[in-house]
Amino acid sequence: MHTMKLNDDLIKKLAKTYEPSAFIHDTFRGNDIAFKTDAAGNPIQLFVGRLGEGGIIKGERYARTLKRDKAGTLIKDHWDAKGKAS
């Protein structure tokens, strides 16, 4: 199984803050994307592929690790491929 690496431009798009605790549908370079945001509006789960029946994306699934120190400074921001999304 080959999972695609996230494109730098897509990572930049996902670095923005969105509506808190939402599920957002969008498109990026010909792919359908959808992502869930946390309470602070940071995308934390991503689906990339083709939008199918019922609004479900078939393609790849990614999860984001965000870690901050006690002062709130971001110390880790990383996306991991989690396999197929269907």
How many domains does the chain fold into? 1
Domain presence at residue 3: no
Q: Residue 51 sits in which domain range?
A: 8-85
Compute CA distances 12 → 16, 44, 51, whole Å.
Answer: 7, 14, 22
Residues whose CB falls within 8 Å of the CB of residue 72, separated by 6 or more in sequence, listed in order? none
Residue 19 one-letter amino acid: E
Residues whose CB falls within 8 Å of the CB of residue 32, separated by 6 or more in sequence, listed in order? 25, 26, 48, 49, 50, 51, 57, 59
* β-bridge partners, 46: 35, 62
The model's pTM is 0.87
pLDDT digits (tens, 9 = 90+) for 24-79: 999 999 999 999 999 999 999 999 999 988 888 999 999 999 999 999 898 999 99
Domain presence at residue 52: yes
